[in-house]
Amino acid sequence: MAAGRSLSWNGNVRWDNGTILTTDRTPGWADLEQFPTSLTARVLSKSGAIHGISTTLKSSWGCRGKNITGGAATVTLALSWVQDDWSKLLLLKHFTKLWAVGFVLWVVWAIWIYPLLASPLRHLPEPSNNHWLLGQAKRIFAEPSGIPMREWVAEIPNDGIIRYRGLLNQERILVCGPKALAEVLVTNNYAFAKPGYLQQSIGRILGIGVLFAEGDEHKMQRRSLTPAFAFRHIKDMYPIFWRKAKEVTQAMTAEVGGRDEVELEVSSWASRATLDIIGVAGMGRDFGAIQDPENVLARTYRKIIKPSRAAQILGLISMFIPLQIVIKLPFRRNQTINAAADEIRAVCRDLIREKKAKLANKEQPDIDILSVAIESGGFTDENLVDQLMTFLAAGHETTASAMTWAVYLLSRHPKVQSRLREEVRECLPSVDSDVDITSLDIDRMPYLNAVCSEILRYYSPVPLTMRDASYDTTILGHPVRRGTRIVIVPWATHFDQHLWGPDADRFDPERWLPSGSEGGAADRKAASGGATSNYAFLPFLHGPRSCIGQAFAKAEFAALLAAWVGRFEFALANPEEADESKVEIRGGVTARPAKGMHVKVKVVGGF
């Protein structure tokens, strides 16, 4: 690199090693390169008095090559404080040019040279047809979450990881093989943290609870909450799940009235039912959302999960402006989210006050999540608010998504629907009776459990999740730099023919049932859906960061689906949607049909 242009100033620059740069020119690149790293330059007057301005120059190459440019520019700027006015102007101009050149060089390095020519991951398999600036970003934004990755996993030979480039050619690592998934999710899981921007965006609604906690804080929170999700507690909640399943089924029956067939939008019913379930089983309060669609919480969540063009625009803006600024911009969407967060927090604080008063009066202890969290003593009131926000949102939205896709798939597969209805009516009491069910009743229904598992495979509620490398590490021996984005995509892994066989793209509950008389081998195969690895099934992930409420979610899902299928027959309102490509899917934390799920509902007598 060439030395900087000569300028005059009234002062000296002295390095820590005693070297004094001449007083008739500004130090340029040649001057800086002849000294060791991390030297401190002090700006001195002619008399040698220290003006108190210093900077440390660090010669760090690779992707951090911009630091030495910034250091040189900072020295130049510091010198301007001891110049006459004319020299100050010249130095400021020099600094601006130097900074601009350094910035351009850094941009070229970061966007093109590093990912294309210098990255240690550049030899990994990756999709073709990359845009010169956008990488694969255009396709990723245009298609439903996880769909491009599904194609890459199917078509690109790989050993478990695939590199792709996003906006501005930022590197992403798609983790899709069992060994790679095991490293990221289990053996080295705390090396990969949830991206910070998720806390600042969806964390406003989900709270910064166990879902976003990291390291020792996450371990403490999970340990404190685990008793609430122990099987002995979950099995006691089955009667709650069934009572709420009966309530929503009876409310939908009333909506149908005496008519032969009625068109209903079922995702709204699913959301209200699961919100009530998490309210009673999780917090000890019935929110009444099934009976009142305008319930404050139901209305609030409906507003924030509604597809929004503004949300997409804000997402794009956040690619170029820090999210801390984006979430404060005067967009209506931001105002809606902030107002919703305030409403949800107010409800959570009220729940905590109510529960603490009940516990203080030594009333019969509850088995709900909130009671266990309070009695653990591991949370402040604000921590408890965050935990409740997490379980309220994640605990009802994911199961509601699963119910929505269940109705869609059963509408497309009437034979599966009919067979399931037969098992439900044979094993469970009518939704009009006062008889409760137990966990044993559900456990003895192999086809119901098979259908639930296949729905979670085929339309996993959460299409993808992301992690960032917390420090320099490796995956399958490949070096992964700190900050590298790791992408885990159930919607891709669940369709990988190497894991699920040649019929991976077919909806088939039979894959979860034992076949023939092979005994133990058949049972083991059925337990995994025929997949070659348990890492092939990711609706709840695996390891210490897996979904703490998965047993809760499976139980309520089974109870709701059994009640609905036992009472109703579903058919698509729009026959064209039998073609999956005709169903527009909205993005977000969970996947749902953008226009809702409209189906024809018929009451089937006898249940």
Residue 368 confidence (pLDDT): 83
pLDDT in tens, 462-477: 999 999 999 999 999 9
Closest CA relative to residue 460, chosen from 389, 544, 529, 543 = 529
Provide the 3-class DSSP secondary structure of residue 467: strand
Would you say 265 and 596 are in contact if contact means Cβ atoms under 8 Å apart?
A: yes
Which parts of 178-273 are beta strand (E)?
A: 192-193, 262-265
Closest CA relative to residue 196, chosen from 182, 170, 172, 214 = 214
The structure tokens 């994640």 sit at 394
Closest CA relative to residue 387, chosen from 402, 368, 373 = 373
Q: CB count, 10 Å around CB of 60? A: 14
Would you say 529 and 511 are in contact if contact means Cβ atoms under 8 Å apart?
A: yes
Amino acid sitting at position 224 = S
How far is C-alpha 493 from the geometric centre of its chain's CA atoms?
A: 16
Amino acid sitting at position 20 = I
The structure tokens 């102007």 sit at 89
Residue 457 sits at φ, ψ, to 5 deg, of -75, -50
Closest CA relative to residue 175, chosen from 143, 196, 203, 153 = 153
The structure tokens 């006062």 sit at 434
Residue 378 confidence (pLDDT): 85
Provide the 3-class DSSP secondary structure of residue 192: strand
CA angle at residue 41 from 40 to 44, to 5 degrees? 140
Q: CB count, 10 Å around CB of 289? A: 27
Residue 498 confidence (pLDDT): 97
Question: Which bin fits 427, alpha (ψ -120 to 50), beta or left (φ > 0)?
Answer: alpha
Whether residue 547 is annotated as binding a ligand: the answer is yes
Amino acid sitting at position 5 = R
- Calculate the dihedral angle through the C-alpha atoms of 75, 76, 81, 82, rounding to the nearest 10 degrees: 100
Inter-helix orientation angle 381-412/215-225, to 10°: 70
User: What is the CB-side half-sphere exposure of residue 580 using CA atoms within 13 A?
Assistant: 13
Would you say 249 and 563 are in contact if contact means Cβ atoms under 8 Å apart?
A: yes
The two tokens of residue 596 are: 């809702």
Residue 271 confidence (pLDDT): 96
Which pTM value belongs to this model? 0.85
- What distance in Å separates the CA atoms of residue 105 and residue 195, rounded to the nearest whole number? 27
Residue 7 sits at φ, ψ, to 5 deg, of -135, 160
- Which residues contact residue 103 at a Cβ distance below 8 angstroms, ignoring those fewer than 6 apart? 66
Taking 50 as the pLDDT cut, the residues of the chain under it are 1-11, 13-17, 19-69
The full set of domains in the chain, from first to last, is 12-118 (no CATH), 207-462+539-603 (1.10.630.10)
- What distance in Å separates the CA atoms of residue 392 and residue 188, rounded to the nearest whole number? 29
Strand pairing partners for 569?
602
Residue 586 confidence (pLDDT): 84
Closest CA relative to residue 540, chosen from 554, 529, 530 = 554
Residue 520 confidence (pLDDT): 67
Residue 442 confidence (pLDDT): 98
Residue 201 confidence (pLDDT): 83
